[in-house]
Amino acid sequence: MHLHLGEISDSFAHSVHQDFQENTQVQFPVPREKGVGGSSLINCMLYVRGNKRDYDQWVDNGATGRSWNDVYSYFLKAENNTDPEIANNGYHSTGGFLTVSTPPQTNALKEAFAAAAPEVGYDHRDINGEKQTGK
Protein backbone atom coordinates (compact mmCIF):
# COMPACT_ATOMS: atom_id res chain seq x y z
CA MET A 1 0.00 0.00 0.00
CA HIS A 2 1.28 3.49 -0.87
CA LEU A 3 0.38 6.79 0.79
CA HIS A 4 1.12 10.26 -0.57
CA LEU A 5 2.12 12.93 1.91
CA GLY A 6 2.69 16.49 0.67
CA GLU A 7 5.79 18.37 1.75
CA ILE A 8 6.53 21.82 0.27
CA SER A 9 10.06 23.18 -0.02
CA ASP A 10 11.24 26.41 -1.64
CA SER A 11 11.21 25.43 -5.30
CA PHE A 12 9.91 21.87 -5.34
CA ALA A 13 7.01 20.05 -3.82
CA HIS A 14 8.36 16.72 -2.58
CA SER A 15 5.95 13.86 -2.84
CA VAL A 16 6.66 11.31 -0.12
CA HIS A 17 5.79 7.68 -0.80
CA GLN A 18 5.36 5.55 2.27
CA ASP A 19 5.65 1.90 1.35
CA PHE A 20 4.15 0.03 4.27
CA GLN A 21 5.10 -3.40 2.98
CA GLU A 22 8.77 -2.45 2.68
CA ASN A 23 8.57 0.04 5.58
CA THR A 24 10.62 2.56 3.57
CA GLN A 25 10.13 6.17 2.49
CA VAL A 26 11.03 7.41 -0.99
CA GLN A 27 11.00 11.09 -1.98
CA PHE A 28 10.88 12.45 -5.50
CA PRO A 29 10.67 16.10 -6.59
CA VAL A 30 7.55 17.44 -8.32
CA PRO A 31 8.46 20.54 -10.35
CA ARG A 32 6.59 23.74 -9.55
CA GLU A 33 6.11 27.07 -11.27
CA LYS A 34 9.68 28.23 -12.00
CA GLY A 35 9.68 27.57 -15.76
CA VAL A 36 8.67 30.13 -18.39
CA GLY A 37 4.88 29.94 -18.30
CA GLY A 38 4.70 29.14 -14.61
CA SER A 39 2.31 26.59 -13.16
CA SER A 40 0.09 27.11 -16.21
CA LEU A 41 2.83 25.37 -18.24
CA ILE A 42 2.93 22.20 -16.15
CA ASN A 43 -0.55 21.72 -14.72
CA CYS A 44 -2.73 18.70 -15.43
CA MET A 45 -5.35 20.68 -17.39
CA LEU A 46 -8.19 19.57 -15.14
CA TYR A 47 -11.03 22.09 -15.49
CA VAL A 48 -11.68 23.21 -11.91
CA ARG A 49 -13.40 26.53 -11.29
CA GLY A 50 -12.45 26.89 -7.66
CA ASN A 51 -14.62 26.70 -4.59
CA LYS A 52 -17.54 29.11 -4.26
CA ARG A 53 -16.73 29.76 -0.59
CA ASP A 54 -13.29 31.07 -1.57
CA TYR A 55 -14.83 33.62 -3.95
CA ASP A 56 -17.27 34.75 -1.29
CA GLN A 57 -14.50 35.02 1.26
CA TRP A 58 -12.50 37.21 -1.13
CA VAL A 59 -15.47 39.58 -1.28
CA ASP A 60 -15.57 39.62 2.52
CA ASN A 61 -11.91 40.67 2.34
CA GLY A 62 -12.64 43.52 -0.07
CA ALA A 63 -12.65 42.04 -3.60
CA THR A 64 -15.91 43.71 -4.61
CA GLY A 65 -17.63 42.12 -7.62
CA ARG A 66 -15.78 38.77 -7.28
CA SER A 67 -18.40 36.77 -5.37
CA TRP A 68 -19.40 33.36 -6.72
CA ASN A 69 -22.67 34.82 -7.97
CA ASP A 70 -20.76 37.61 -9.73
CA VAL A 71 -18.37 35.28 -11.59
CA TYR A 72 -20.47 32.17 -12.18
CA SER A 73 -22.18 33.43 -15.34
CA TYR A 74 -18.74 34.12 -16.85
CA PHE A 75 -17.66 30.52 -16.27
CA LEU A 76 -20.74 29.41 -18.17
CA LYS A 77 -20.17 31.96 -20.92
CA ALA A 78 -16.56 30.80 -21.38
CA GLU A 79 -17.27 27.06 -21.51
CA ASN A 80 -17.82 24.79 -24.48
CA ASN A 81 -18.54 21.43 -22.86
CA THR A 82 -18.50 18.50 -25.27
CA ASP A 83 -19.97 15.89 -22.90
CA PRO A 84 -23.71 15.62 -23.72
CA GLU A 85 -24.39 13.99 -20.34
CA ILE A 86 -23.47 17.14 -18.41
CA ALA A 87 -23.29 19.94 -20.99
CA ASN A 88 -26.74 21.32 -20.22
CA ASN A 89 -27.29 20.25 -16.62
CA GLY A 90 -27.19 23.80 -15.23
CA TYR A 91 -23.54 23.63 -14.14
CA HIS A 92 -22.03 23.66 -17.64
CA SER A 93 -22.65 25.22 -21.01
CA THR A 94 -21.68 25.09 -24.67
CA GLY A 95 -20.58 27.65 -27.23
CA GLY A 96 -17.81 29.38 -25.27
CA PHE A 97 -14.15 29.68 -26.28
CA LEU A 98 -12.89 27.16 -23.69
CA THR A 99 -13.56 23.59 -24.80
CA VAL A 100 -13.91 21.18 -21.88
CA SER A 101 -14.26 17.45 -22.42
CA THR A 102 -14.53 14.32 -20.33
CA PRO A 103 -11.39 12.23 -20.99
CA PRO A 104 -12.33 9.37 -23.34
CA GLN A 105 -9.60 7.07 -22.07
CA THR A 106 -9.62 5.16 -18.81
CA ASN A 107 -7.36 2.74 -16.97
CA ALA A 108 -7.65 0.02 -14.35
CA LEU A 109 -6.45 2.22 -11.48
CA LYS A 110 -8.96 4.99 -12.27
CA GLU A 111 -11.79 2.45 -12.46
CA ALA A 112 -10.72 0.86 -9.18
CA PHE A 113 -10.71 4.25 -7.40
CA ALA A 114 -14.15 5.13 -8.78
CA ALA A 115 -15.52 1.75 -7.71
CA ALA A 116 -13.94 1.95 -4.25
CA ALA A 117 -15.17 5.47 -3.42
CA PRO A 118 -18.83 4.56 -2.72
CA GLU A 119 -17.68 1.65 -0.56
CA VAL A 120 -16.15 4.14 1.88
CA GLY A 121 -18.99 6.65 1.64
CA TYR A 122 -17.86 8.96 -1.15
CA ASP A 123 -20.03 9.84 -4.13
CA HIS A 124 -18.41 9.99 -7.56
CA ARG A 125 -19.23 13.54 -8.67
CA ASP A 126 -18.60 16.26 -11.22
CA ILE A 127 -16.02 18.54 -9.54
CA ASN A 128 -17.74 21.57 -11.09
CA GLY A 129 -21.24 20.47 -10.11
CA GLU A 130 -23.36 21.22 -7.06
CA LYS A 131 -20.72 20.01 -4.61
CA GLN A 132 -16.99 19.74 -5.19
CA THR A 133 -16.22 16.84 -2.90
CA GLY A 134 -17.67 13.34 -2.73
CA LYS A 135 -18.98 13.81 0.82
Ligand X SMILES: Cc1cc2nc3c(=O)[nH]c(=O)nc-3n(C[C@H](O)[C@H](O)[C@H](O)COP(=O)(O)OP(=O)(O)OC[C@H]3O[C@@H](n4cnc5c(N)ncnc54)[C@H](O)[C@@H]3O)c2cc1C
The binding site for ligand X (CB under 6 A) comprises: 32-34, 37-40, 42-46, 48
Which of 38, 34, 4 lies closest to 18, judged by CA?
4
Least distance to ligand X, CB of residue 45, Å? 5
Least distance to ligand X, CB of residue 13, Å? 7
| CB-nearest residue to ligand X | 38
Query: Closest CB to ligand X among 24 and 105?
Result: 105
Query: Closest CB to ligand X among 110 and 118?
Result: 110
The packing angle between helices 52-60 and 68-78, to 10°, is: 130
- CA distance linking residue 13 with residue 109, whole number of Å: 24
Least distance to ligand X, CB of residue 121, Å? 25
Angle at CA of residue 110, ends 106 and 115, nearest 5°: 115
